[in-house]
Amino acid sequence: EDFYVRYFAKMVVGGGRDQEFQEFEFCSNGRFRFARNFLQGGFFEGKQLRKECFLSQASLRVLKGLVLKSGILQMDDSQWPAPTRESRQEIEIKCQGIHVVFATKLHWSLPHIDAGRKCAHVREMSEFDELAEEIKGFGKSILNFFGIPRSS
């Protein structure tokens, strides 16, 4: 089965001159890729980090379980905050014959999403955020396992 998961986030900093980003990519052949640039943050400042390794099918089954449990394959992002030039996060998934790409503004909390209003899409945004955190946590645990330095 073709299985693919990609999480990407970017934020423009420094008055629009620079952007920080991070990306986690998992492919059905086991390839895991991580990329991040650091515009601030001590030792890594001004550097890019790119790492790649191969995971077992058992590891990919764990990730696939997280994706299926999230319900993201049935979500509709039409009411979500649109990404901007300054702020974007994406989740792309190919799983069980379905290919979805969700893009929204990078946000820090649910109250920020709906500006204090009660919105119907808040539950789905919460599930999107939860899956984003699980994908990042899964990828960071792999980086930690292999002793690959990273910043949070």
pLDDT at 37: 84
pLDDT band at 36 (very low <50, low <70, confident <90, very high): confident
**Lowest mean pLDDT: which of 58-62, 93-97, 124-128?**
124-128
- Give the position of tokens 């390794």: 53
pLDDT at 48: 80
Strands 31-38 and 18-27: antiparallel
For residue 76, give both structure tokens. 């509709």
DSSP state of 76: -
Q: Which residue has the higher pLDDT, 124 or 4?
A: 4
**pLDDT of 149 above 90:** no
**pLDDT of 16 above 70:** no
For the entire predicted model, the pTM comes to 0.82
For residue 94, give both structure tokens. 């190919």
Contacting residues for 94 by C-beta, under 8 A, at least 6 apart: 2, 3, 4
For residue 104, give both structure tokens. 């929204």
Q: What is the mean pLDDT of residues 37-65?
A: 81
Q: What is the mean pLDDT of the chain?
A: 82
pLDDT at 129: 85
**pLDDT of 42 above 70:** no
Under a CB-based contact definition with an 8 Å cutoff, are residues 80 and 102 in contact? yes
